[in-house]
Amino acid sequence: MAETPPINYGIALVGSGSATPKQRLTNDQLGLRVDTSDSWISSRTGIHSRRVIGSGETLTGLSVRAAQGATTFARWDPESIDLVILATSTPDDLFGSAPQIQAELGAKNAVAFDLTAACSGFLFALVTASQFLRNGSMRRAIVIGADQLTRWVNWDDRRSCVLFGDGAGAIALEATDINHDGVIAFSLKSDGSRGDCLNLPNVQNFQPLVEGLVHQTGGFLPIQMNGQEVYKFAVREVPSILEDLLSGSNVAPETLDWLLLHQANQRILDAVADRFSIPKTKVLSNLANYGNTSAATIPLMLDEAVQDGRIKRGDLIATSGFGAGLSWGAALLRWQGPI
């Protein structure tokens, strides 16, 4: 007689992968383009260089490489994947780039779609994928965070262009026994009433269509950002959502193995870590090398720390993403590795 499946499955984080562009742009090189300096950028943000997609590379290509890395790490046959979600605000195709990734990955049995929530996108996608696995309707999911904000930066605006870079990261999630759950708790939030401090708005350009009618032309303006407002939002909301998550899960901050925040600014990482008295050694940071890669920062950082052996099987990770929308979220995760 077949076993009755459990109503609720656990979700195991079983693989990770990442990919970054070849071109590296240093602060000194940026100083040749706008009135800035390595000392200003590194002291205000912690960023030393960022990667920029160049000719011969695409965001879809980076995403495929990241997804392949996670699939191989998890020791999966691509045809066993049920779901591919691409978190991005900068797809190569506005209709969605996830199906292209699904095809190139060989995940021919998977449904694939894009999800947009700016720098919170990866976390929102991770939680979305988890719901399909949790309720038993799917077994294996690849969640990718990838962005090419260098396409939408005003390279003559020193207040914003120094912050952003390109990259892709991915994780593999597998439905497992509820007692081995790796997505322990989460919280997601949005506040559109504060959305005007960070936008990538469309162009308001109307052209004649036929007599008496107009149509809007496609296109977007460069990123518009009020840096100080975004900074204040991050240092207020991230500690608050993490505090609620930890206390709601009865997890003391000192029992965390890692704090894995969206990599926007080292000062934000330091402020959040100080609030919970988490030592610097437990705060994952690679923004010195990549800047803010938006939806990619969390899986890019996760993969780096898994690959170099810092994150080990069973480690408890508090993560938080935040950005445009405004949107923000947090999750308490346990790293598993291949089952």
User: 119 catalytic, yes or no?
Assistant: yes
Dist. CA 32–CA 170, nearest whole Å: 34
Nearer to ligand ACO, 180 or 232 (CB): 232
Rounded CA-CA distance 127/132 in Å is 9
Task: Tell me how far apart the alpha carbons of residues 170 and 326 are, in angstroms, rounded to a whole number.
Answer: 23
Q: Binding to ligand ACO by residue 159, rule CB under 6 A?
A: yes
Q: Determine if 158 is a binding residue for ligand ACO (CB under 6 A).
A: yes
Burial 247-257 (b: 16+ CB within 10 A, else e): eeeebebeebb
Cα angle 131, 137, 139; round to 5: 85
| 178-217: contacts with ligand ACO (CB under 6 A) | 198
Q: Which residue is nearest to ligand ACO (CB)?
A: 323
Looking at the Cβ atoms of 75 and 159, the one nearer to ligand ACO is 159
Q: Give the binding range for ligand ACO (CB under 6 A) out of 73-81, 91-99, 227-235, 238-246.
A: 227-235
State which of residues 44, 48, 189, 194 lies at the interface with ligand ACO (CB under 6 A): 44
Contact of 200 with 324, CB cutoff 8 Å: yes
Nearer to ligand ACO, 118 or 142 (CB): 118
Q: Which among 185, 186, 177, 187 has a CA at the least distance from the CA of 336?
A: 177
Does 262 qualify as catalytic in the annotation?
A: yes
Binding flag, residue 318, ligand ACO (CB under 6 A): no
Residue 73 near residue 170, CB atoms below 8 Å:
no
Separation of alpha carbons 298 and 259, rounded Å:
11
| Sole binder of ligand ACO in the list 230, 241, 301, 305 (CB under 6 A) | 230
Give me the catalytic one of 27, 161, 262, 289: 262
Tokens of 189: 């939030």
Residues that bind ligand ACO (CB under 6 A): 36, 40-41, 44-45, 118-119, 158-159, 162-163, 198, 225, 227-228, 230-231, 264-265, 292, 294, 323-324
